[in-house]
């Protein structure tokens, strides 16, 4: 479960930036925060977008223009598949809630460290 990743502020958004420690070093995340950060990055990344990881991502932006219920179902399935690609994740249940002004997709994730978490992404 101990995999270190570079820490980001607002992962999965256009304003994502490297986190820097008080000493000026690049910060890192480990364990559950690392899984959560990876999930947010996967939501915002399309498959094939990363050169060395062509299978990474769920591609929320690919759902633009589709009817909300179709987009939510397709994104939920792609995000679940992407989350299960992480070897630290043992089970994922994804649920989409379509509202008039937004769609929220939530994932209940179980990890190898037996630390469950819920992650939400607004499409």
Can you give the pTM of this predicted structure? Answer: 0.78
**Distance from C-alpha of 82 to C-alpha of 71, rounded to nearest angstrom:** 16
Stretch 83-112: mean pLDDT: 91
Q: Convert the pLDDT of each residue in 13-23 to its tens digit.
A: 666 677 778 88
**Distance from C-alpha of 37 to C-alpha of 9, rounded to nearest angstrom:** 9
**Distance from C-alpha of 74 to C-alpha of 93, rounded to nearest angstrom:** 14
Nearest to 122 by CA among 49, 84, 85, 68: 68
Q: Enumerate the H helices of the chain as residue ranges.
A: 32-44, 68-84
Q: 3-state DSSP call for residue 39? A: helix
**Distance from C-alpha of 53 to C-alpha of 28, rounded to nearest angstrom:** 20
State what percent of residues in the chain have pLDDT above 90: 29
CATH classification number, 5-122, choose in 3.40.50.300, 3.40.47.10, 3.30.43.10, 3.10.450.40: 3.10.450.40
Domain positions in the chain are 5-122
């Amino acid at each position: 479960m101990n995999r270190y990743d570079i820490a980001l502020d607002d992962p999965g958004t256009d304003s994502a930036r490297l986190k820097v420690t008080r000493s000026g070093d690049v910060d890192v995340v480990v364990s559950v925060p690392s899984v959560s950060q990876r999930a947010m990055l996967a939501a915002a990344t399309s498959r094939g977008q990363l050169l060395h990881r062509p299978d990474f991502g769920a591609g929320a932006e690919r759902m633009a223009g589709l009817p909300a219920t179709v987009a939510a179902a397709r994104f939920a399935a792609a995000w679940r598949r992407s989350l299960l690609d992480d070897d630290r994740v043992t089970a994922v249940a994804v649920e989409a809630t379509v509202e008039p002004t937004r769609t929220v997709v939530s994932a209940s994730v179980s990890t190898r460290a037996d630390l469950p978490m819920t992650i939400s992404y607004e499409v």
